[in-house]
């Protein structure tokens, strides 16, 4: 890992970890959920699409357009909507922690599909520990009301979408370059929300701070973050790049606690550590650069 690689990784983790904070700011500014997600995808498209076009990747994208549309729905549109709706009832730092369960879902899918215990004892133990962390969060931090419970379940479901999407693309769209996949699914997600965007637009002009939050969320946390992710993949490979999945949640907590004055209890800390420990163990219990075939996880 070179200094450039670590710089890219920390920048990426900071951007992805900040996404939850900017969602919260946009919601506080009176912007409706569908419009937040639409603007996020629109700005992400404006960053990613020119790069994808310059690489000449869209002939291969056209061959897989139906599957890419499905992936866009379960990996971008669905998770973005679920997280944004969820943050109306739970803190941004809690959303970041729950999304960190994505590697747990990836490991569970691998365990169900393999039928031969290739995950190993440590991997199975990691799944169990991660689930215990989720139970701690739901049993203590999210049990105050039905709204917080459902919001937490929605964000957890978003983590499942982040796990399923890369598995589908790796198995069925291997001939499409990663930048083509990223550019196409963000663009397709934007088009899915285009019909509802005019009806969910704010009735009054949001403040400059709200627009700034949307701009950073879309152009930074979606568009630029994806570009950095693929630069990092090119530099150090997808296995080492997956380390960002363990760093981003800490940024989401730091932003939420220090900038949004969110609470962070002992049970929240325990849930975070259990989920991250379980994710690490489920991913073979090794540091990322020693893994051989592990999917890099997607952001919020």
* pLDDT (mean) for 280-299: 52
* pLDDT (mean) for 4-26: 93
Distance of CA 202 to the CA centre of its chain: 26
Query: What confidence score (pLDDT) does residue 290 get?
Result: 44
How far apart are alpha carbons 259 and 198 in whole angstroms? 31
How far apart are alpha carbons 44 and 16 in whole angstroms? 13
Is pLDDT above 70 for 284? no
Lowest mean pLDDT among 1-5, 60-64, 81-85, 184-188: 1-5
Q: Name the 3-class secondary structure at 91.
A: coil
pTM here is: 0.88
Is pLDDT above 80 for 13? yes
Query: What confidence score (pLDDT) does residue 106 get?
Result: 82
First CA to last CA distance, the chain: 25
- DSSP letter, residue 284: T
Is pLDDT above 60 for 71? yes
């Amino acid at each position: 890992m070179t200094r450039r690689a670590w710089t890219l990784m920390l920048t990426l983790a900071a951007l992805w970890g900040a996404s939850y904070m900017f969602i919260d700011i946009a919601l506080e500014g009176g912007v409706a959920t569908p419009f937040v997600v639409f603007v996020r995808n629109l700005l992400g498209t404006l960053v990613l699409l020119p790069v994808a076009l310059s690489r000449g990747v869209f002939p291969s994208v056209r061959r897989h357009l139906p599957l890419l549309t499905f992936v866009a729905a379960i990996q971008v549109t669905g998770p973005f909507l679920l997280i944004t709706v969820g943050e109306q009832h739970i803190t941004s730092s809690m959303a970041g922690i729950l999304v960190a369960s994505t590697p747990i879902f990836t490991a569970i899918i691998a365990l169900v599909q393999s039928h031969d215990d290739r995950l190993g004892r440590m991997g199975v133990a990691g799944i169990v520990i991660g689930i215990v962390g989720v139970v701690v969060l739901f049993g203590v931090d999210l049990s105050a009301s039905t709204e917080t419970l459902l919001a937490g379940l929605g964000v957890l479901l978003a983590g499942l979408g982040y796990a399923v999407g890369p598995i589908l693309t790796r198995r069925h769209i291997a001939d499409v370059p990663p930048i083509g996949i990223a550019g196409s699914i963000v663009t397709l997600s934007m088009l899915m929300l285009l019909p509802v965007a005019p009806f969910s637009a704010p009735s009054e002009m949001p403040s400059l701070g709200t627009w700034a939050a949307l701009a950073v969320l879309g152009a930074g946390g979606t568009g630029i973050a994806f570009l950095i992710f693929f630069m990092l993949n090119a530099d150090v490979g997808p296995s080492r790049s997956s380390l960002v999945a363990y760093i981003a949640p800490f940024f989401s907590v730091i932003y939420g606690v220090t900038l949004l004055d969110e609470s962070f209890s002992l049970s929240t800390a325990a849930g975070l550590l259990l989920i991250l420990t379980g994710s690490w163990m489920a991913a073979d219990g090794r540091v990322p650069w020693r893994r051989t075939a592990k999917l890099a996880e997607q952001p919020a």
